[in-house]
Structure 1
């Protein structure tokens, strides 16, 4: 059986080469290096140890994925050809080495034995350089995949493979989003290499301005100070909620139930909508936080009652998003947004065992009436029960309006139930016009309410300027002020 020895060259100091690595170098078998851009290669040159490397692949490859796949394929072919080869990588083979990860995944299918000969990881000299004890928490992040990972502000983070200014610039942008531009980080070059190690303490915004960025550059981000804390994460929010509802917490928070705070969810949702309508981004940020608080609050109550916890909530929505987006996470193809929405609904109906068209309408419940009617009309239109164009919907509004007038005339005999029914029909018809025009009736009505309040505020201020109280004015006088308010708003 062919065999590949996978050997770590350590972080860079020749004195950190393990005895096992030296024995393999001197074994007389083919020595293959992922890269010869590494300080310990001087040892090979000084001792005239033959080797080959894959640096040429980095120069010709279009991206790292292509480079790594080529290296792995070539190593497997060399192993079959030479029966036994040595593959050397910087640091420890099992720390931040993608080619090793790919090799180990293929060893069973290739019927090739692989043996790991570890070396000192680059992590060791980094934590020595910055004085960090990993027992306090440490996260290692690949700088080449910074967008696919998240820093943890409550522990130390090490970012590896910050090879050049382009990668440093991308890392800077991602870190600034979390920590801000002025947060101090440590840039470490040639960690553990005698006379070459450098440590720079800089604010994040200066990261891509450094001239010292090289293939041996790593970044250390200290955890956020818990006493003088300026930023928080989801873990902090869960801890705060746990404290508030703990034995020594807030009596009010401890007493709350799902039902006692259920109105808060609706109120906060409307405040989010209002912030969006007002284009108030600062307020929107705050209101979204209030919505998040409600999710965490209900999850904590459910956890104490033994039903579910926040991780169940997050897992549930992640599974739902993946399941309902087969065109992104699976092989299904879609042509446009309408097809995406159709597929979303069809999968939802299937999972909830909703079979009849009527059940699709009944499934929409517990929403404000305008929103519910809007969604029910959408569901009916999905199967073709709809007007050809908006003119049919407008004619229906006119028809329902006259039926209200007729019911009002009849109501002189006292049948207000008939009036209520016809007014409901009129509202339903108006919502149908909104749907045709792709206007959300809830948002439209809320805008009108806000507009009414603004005009009413104008009326009251003008009445006070005239030393009058609105309630003492005639309807004609108030109408004049109302018309002035309309003109004032349109200026």
Structure 2
């Protein structure tokens, strides 16, 4: 059997009588480290032991240290049958060597017994008068980048061993908390004569001179931080709740459609302008629309924001089998090919036409035409090169000439649509986004119109009183200049 004991946070008073009896009764005792205040008292008891401090020198990482210790303990058990393994604090609190050892013991069929102990968390809670029932999260400093910070909970960060680790922790915390926020620097909690607990500013963390293996941090609940996703959800819940905003309460999915479209285009505009500050703002406005629709869904009892995030997470995992499963995709072309195949399976199309119909009718016309043509091309309905597509533009142009003098509005509409559709087809062959192309031309038109207007003002003339020929002359002048 392997008995796994905790040596408490560092005070001899924290050692249980059961732990002391086990240490006295067993000949084969192994400690993860001798660098712990309790060891000084254990030495006075005349207890013989070995430590694994040498592993820290010979290994390249802490994971390697802990795995090596666990493997060696299994070998010691095979040799001596009954052994004791002691670790600082409580065996199950922030003690990775124990969790690795327990897994190995289960695989090897080795019997274990865990002896409870006072943990350093208990010491911190006692020193800071923390009641964990109000919410407490414990984070290993080495794993902080994989954790979600939340000021709705008090947070204890353990194993802040040195200034380098403290610096890494500070950088991560500063991405969420205010740099001026007050946190607790906790060293040697519960150890008489060594304990030091003080408030510091977050930015001062890695400037502390007494950081060592006994250092932890405590960030109180409600510490000043950046607003997060949950805050936005809560704000929308208030706006739609009792005594909420009259306008927000009046909205439904239908009334918000135009807002959603507008916000999408404003995001695109910020991207085109390469304005990061504006992009942050516009993405926030767009996210608000998602939260708004989700809150309406919750109010009506159909779905909530968790259903939305669950749905998209499942879809992203499902459509990235080259990341989350065994499928191989070495380039973006293969990724897109897999994506389309999975999409076809999900929608269970009955025909090729169904896939064309699945392109949203609410898309801008040029974009919808482009996507429909691209899908049709996938099924073989396409020319081999761009020349026939360009000839099609000529054909549609002459058909407009034939009908434009008629009073048949529907026929004119049809022929104009055909011309636009044919133009999009040429854009597709030339790998040009038709939406970008038309917006480029619109911007160019506005720039040239501005030139005409400024030229007219310089001549002391009113643009409205100029002839088309005069304006066209200025237009051509602008073309030569730009």
TM-score, normalisation: structure 2: 0.90
SS of the equivalent of 1:65 reads helix
Q: How does 1:79-90 map to 2 (within 5 A)?
A: 79-90=77-88
SS of the equivalent of 2:359 reads coil
Q: Quickly say closer, same or farther: Cα 1:396–1:433, change in 2 above 3 A.
A: closer
Query: 336-345 or 165-174: which moved more?
Result: 165-174
Cα deviation, residue 247, structure 1: 1.3
Aligned to 2:414: 421
Aligned residues: 481
Q: In structure 2, what is the Cα distance between the partners aligned to 1:482 and 1:274?
A: 27
Do the aligned residues in 2 keep the contact of 1:162 with 1:218 (CA within 8 Å)?
Answer: yes
Q: Quickly say closer, same or farther: Cα 1:14–1:452, change in 2 above 3 A.
A: farther
Is residue 65 from structure 1 mapped to residue 63 from structure 2 by the alignment?
yes
Aligned to 2:342: 347
Cα deviation, residue 171, structure 1: 1.6
Cα deviation, residue 97, structure 1: 2.0
Do the aligned residues in 1 keep the contact of 2:383 with 2:389 (CA within 8 Å)?
Answer: no
Aligned to 2:159: 161
Query: 372-381 or 137-146: which moved more?
Result: 372-381
Is residue 412 from structure 1 mapped to residue 405 from structure 2 by the alignment?
yes
SS of the equivalent of 2:25 reads coil
SS of the equivalent of 2:175 reads helix
Cα deviation, residue 411, structure 1: 3.5
Stretches of structure 2 lacking an aligned partner (at least 5 in a row): none
Do the aligned residues in 1 keep the contact of 2:28 with 2:84 (CA within 8 Å)?
Answer: yes
Aligned to 1:314: 309
RMSD of aligned Cα (Å): 2.7
SS of the equivalent of 1:285 reads helix
Q: In structure 1, what is the Cα distance between the partners aligned to 2:457 and 2:151?
A: 54
Aligned to 2:469: 476
Aligned to 1:279: 274
SS of the equivalent of 1:442 reads helix
Query: 290-299 or 115-124: which moved more?
Result: 115-124
Q: Quickly say closer, same or farther: Cα 1:230–1:218, change in 2 above 3 A.
A: closer
Q: Encode CA deviations 1:128-157: one digit per residue, 9 max, x unaligned.
A: 444544333222112111121111023322
Is residue 431 from structure 1 mapped to residue 420 from structure 2 by the alignment?
no
Aligned to 1:241: 236
Q: In structure 2, what is the Cα distance between the partners aligned to 1:26 and 1:485?
A: 97
Q: Give the counterpart of 2:299 among 294, 299, 304.
A: 304
Q: Quickly say closer, same or farther: Cα 1:441–1:123, change in 2 above 3 A.
A: farther
Cα deviation, residue 283, structure 1: 0.9
Q: Encode CA deviations 1:63-92: one digit per residue, 9 max, x unaligned.
A: 333333333333333334332222222222
Is residue 371 from structure 1 mapped to residue 387 from structure 2 by the alignment?
no
Do the aligned residues in 1 keep the contact of 2:5 with 2:91 (CA within 8 Å)?
Answer: yes
Q: In structure 2, what is the Cα distance between the partners aligned to 1:64 and 1:425?
A: 68
Do the aligned residues in 2 keep the contact of 1:68 with 1:98 (CA within 8 Å)?
Answer: yes
Aligned to 2:324: 329
Q: In structure 2, what is the Cα distance between the partners aligned to 1:210 and 1:444?
A: 58
Cα deviation, residue 57, structure 1: 2.5
TM-score, normalisation: structure 1: 0.88
Q: In structure 2, what is the Cα distance between the partners aligned to 1:355 and 1:97?
A: 56
SS of the equivalent of 1:178 reads coil
